[in-house]
Amino acid sequence: MAENQTTKILRRHLPADDFRPGEEVGLRVDEALLQDATGTMACLQLEELGVDEVSVPLAVQYVDHNLIQLDFRNPDDHRFLQDFSARYGIVYSRPGNGICHYLHVERFARPGDVIVGADSHTTTSGAVGAIAVGAGGLDVAACMSGQPLILEAPRVVGVELRGCLPEWVQAKDIILELLRRRSVRGGVGRIFEFHGDGVPELNVGQRMTICNMIAELGATTGVFPSDERTREWMVLQKRQGDWQPLTPDEGASYDEDEVIDLSSLEPLIARPHSPDHVVPVREVVGLRAAQVCVGSSVNSGYDDLAIVAAVLKGKTIAPNLVMTVTPGSRQILDIIARSGVFTDLIGAGARMLEAACGPCVGMGQAPASGTVSLRTFNRNFPGRSGTQDDNVFLCSPTTAAATALRGVITDPRELGPEPSLPPSMANPEIDDSQILWPPPKEDRRAVVISRGPNIKPPPPQAPLPDALQGDVLIVTGDDVSTGDLAPDGAVVMALRSNVDAMSSFTFRRLDPTFATRARDAGGGFIVAGWNYGQGSSREHAALAPKALGVRAVFARSFARIHRGNLIAQGIVPLTLEGTDYEAAQQGQAWRMPRVRQELASGSGTVDMQAGSRSFRARVNLSVREREVLLAGGLLAYLKAGGKPLSAGKAMSGVVDQGSPITQPAPGDEQDS
Ligand code: MIC
């Protein structure tokens, strides 16, 4: 039978012949990646699993997030990670070498591999034909210890790309178009596979943009064929041996279909405060901008920066705004330096930043109060930039360049014909001197791991009690991001290795009293709307409320990675009917009198008491997830000898699909 590419890859990583959407599967992992902001806690948890070395063929630890060294905390983490990598057999990419997503595609990702990473944008590696999935740190640690990657078998969405992009319209506009159509909830439980005659029109850099931001749809991942364009990329990277062709079979079908006619697209922009608030740029032209930021986690490849430089060459950016440019890696920095792109950007007045995540994750470059900031980044959740009343728009590099020139949001098509790019990636200098390979096996045990004073052990995991009770500590709306739970930025992210200290910032933006109230009450419950925990993979968004005593979260629906993190950290995710959600109020005393027994018995509901009112919350958990929760979390479960799944074995028990087909788009909610 004709197979699509996703099914082919998943099947190769599963001995069992078949899998059905919604069922849990355990995939053999070929590559794992960590970055520093999630890595220290993942490594500390891996250590607790008592392994002697990592069991995946390739694991890479990148240092790219916490590079603002305000004090000892971040450099202590970096030192810990370097030692830890040497001790356990992990490849270590030094600070300054670049952003994990870019580097992984440049130096490591292979077509057909299954990759898991403690960063939601691990999906970027789908650009070279891998199934690359973001997960929480503990889930990644479990994979590194030899466990399979456990996933809800996804529905596969075939996205047929037709034709080619018009002048000034970019890969960013393709992914913004998908976000416009499907929303930030529209990808949950789905893998987006790109096919069609428009695919060969896109190079690997453009495919990276699309696969990176597929995470913004809540998708499991996105994947492109491994074709001639992929081979070209691998040759330039001197990795031709890693290339293999991989395409869907002729006539392959998909669970769902989308068609995008590239030639009909126009420049798009996501308005504040969500990546799916997408409109044509022409609808917001003329809005005065105070900041333009190019590059970072997405759109920081050579072509992205070179087109911006070509637009700005010999001109000066508007005086009412500041502009930053971030290259994705040292390799890109080198190419832009040698090709003159760097000089053109500086000449125009851009501030060049180091090859690191930087402002994309609130590490510096916060915009001025109440002003408009245009960014080529992937997320514009409120306050993520570091400024509470920010107004961040997401757009392509060409829209950013046109705006930088004019000082107001500008449709790049107003600039006349699109300039051609200077000679590009013809010969990127391949220099892996900033990638450190672990010492030979026999020397690893002698490595001493340095631990700074901010590095605290992972919080202990205790079995789920028979009953849970407490106050509703907060009732939130829809689409709460993990940044609300564990905030972005230099100050809070420096506390990622010290969960107790970090937990004081939980829900800081929505309710600065939350942490104190929760701590004083000895815990309680969180009630939320649709798509709770969207965004980042950071398990800290579960660890922090857990440290404050939260053992259950009730939501209309959950984002995939966050739901996994809640379970891994022993917090029960439950779903509420609309009427029960509406009736929930902060301060109500709630009781779950039989929760342990109900989870153990496989019940699909949990009895709830809210004062004199009784209702039922839904639990949609696999057998394994129930066992993990009863043990108090994945660490406790694995330490007690719990066997999650042998790689490849499909498991009975259907998990929550969060399906957008039954789940309304924002602004269109109905009770399910
Ligand atoms: C993000 O884009 O939010 C991040 C920073 O890359 C995170 C990782 C983190 O929280 O450390 C992600 O998406 O997983």
pLDDT tens digits, one per residue of 592-622: 999 999 999 999 999 999 999 999 999 999 9
Average pLDDT along the chain = 94
Element holding 91 (H helix, E strand): strand 91-93
- Give the model's pLDDT for residue 422: 65
Q: For residue 306, give Cα distances in angstroms to 186, 286, 322, 375, 556.
A: 32, 25, 19, 16, 44
Q: Read off the pLDDT band of 296 (50, 70, 90).
A: confident
**Ligand 1 atom 2, closest CA:** 536
Q: Read off the pLDDT band of 425 (50, 70, 90).
A: low
Share of the chain above pLDDT 90, in %: 91
Query: Does ligand 1 have an atom closer than 6 angstroms to the CB of 663?
Result: no
C-alpha 190 – ligand 1 centre gap (Å): 20
Q: Read off the pLDDT band of 671 (50, 70, 90).
A: very low
Q: Read off the pLDDT band of 651 (50, 70, 90).
A: very low
Ligand 1 atom closest to Cα of 134?
14
Per-domain boundaries in the chain: 5-16+23-264, 268-415, 468-639
106 DSSP assignment: I
Cα 306–Cα 310–Cα 316 angle in degrees, nearest 5 = 115
Please compute the mean of the pLDDT values over residues 8-27 and round it to a whole number: 81
Q: Which amino acid is at 466?
A: D
C-alpha 581 – ligand 1 centre gap (Å): 29
> What architecture does CATH give domain 468-639?
Alpha-Beta Barrel (3.20)
Strand pairing of 651-654 and 23-27?
antiparallel
- Per residue in 125-138, pLDDT tens? 999 999 999 999 99
Say if 5-16+23-264 and 268-415 have the same CATH topology. yes
C-alpha 628 – ligand 1 centre gap (Å): 25
Q: Read off the pLDDT band of 16 (50, 70, 90).
A: low
Residue 650 has pLDDT above 70, yes or no: no
- Give the model's pLDDT for residue 15: 61
Q: Read off the pLDDT band of 424 (50, 70, 90).
A: low
The residues pairing with 476 across neighbouring beta strands, listed in sequence order, are none
Query: Does ligand 1 have an atom closer than 6 angstroms to the CB of 538?
Result: yes
Q: What is the dotted CATH code of the domain comprising 5-16+23-264?
A: 3.30.499.10
- Per residue in 431-449, pLDDT tens? 999 999 999 999 999 999 9
- Give the model's pLDDT for residue 393: 98
Is the distance from CB of 240 to CB of 208 less than 8 angstroms? no
**Ligand 1 atom 11, closest CA:** 37
- Give the model's pLDDT for residue 23: 80
Please compute the mean of the pLDDT values over residues 520-549 and round it to a whole number: 98
C-alpha 144 – ligand 1 centre gap (Å): 19
Sign for the CA dihedral angle at 16, 17, 23, 24 comes to positive
Considering the entire predicted model, what is its pTM?
Answer: 0.95
Residue 93 has pLDDT above 90, yes or no: yes
Beta-sheet strands, E only, within 508-666: 524-528, 550-555, 572-575, 589-592, 605-610, 613-618, 651-654
The HSE-up count of residue 570 (CA atoms within 13 Å, CB side) is 25
Q: Which amino acid is at 497?
A: S
Please compute the mean of the pLDDT values over residues 369-394 and round it to a whole number: 97
Q: What is the dotted CATH code of the domain comprising 268-415?
A: 3.30.499.10
Pocket test for ligand 1, best of 537, 543, 561, 562 (most atoms within 8 A of CB): 537
**Ligand 1 atom 9, closest CA:** 538
**Ligand 1 atom 13, closest CA:** 536
Please compute the mean of the pLDDT values over residues 208-234 and round it to a whole number: 98
